[in-house]
Structure 1
């Protein structure tokens, strides 16, 4: 297999893993704790939907 193709595929794979991990980390460490201050459940849901889109 071509070395350039292999390097490109590995880079894209690593970017995908980083994006998935970073998104989960953001949700658990920043977004969800911040939403604890919002008392109305419907409003919390609206904010969550908008944030993850």
Structure 2
């Protein structure tokens, strides 16, 4: 079985439907840092969990 996520709006929806990830992004924004990163696994894990019907990891 091949899963595919076709566009950024789908990824945005996956992230915004996850209260923990959404809160993490809010915290990063509130820090007002000139440079701040959240690792790539943040998005990859959210999409993986979504595609496989798992709860947020």
* Fold conserved between structures, TM > 0.5: no
Using the size of structure 2 for normalisation, the TM-score is 0.30
From the CA coordinates, give the structure whose radius of gyration is larger: 1
Using the size of structure 1 for normalisation, the TM-score is 0.31
By relative contact order (CA 8 Å, sep 6+), the higher-ranking structure is 2
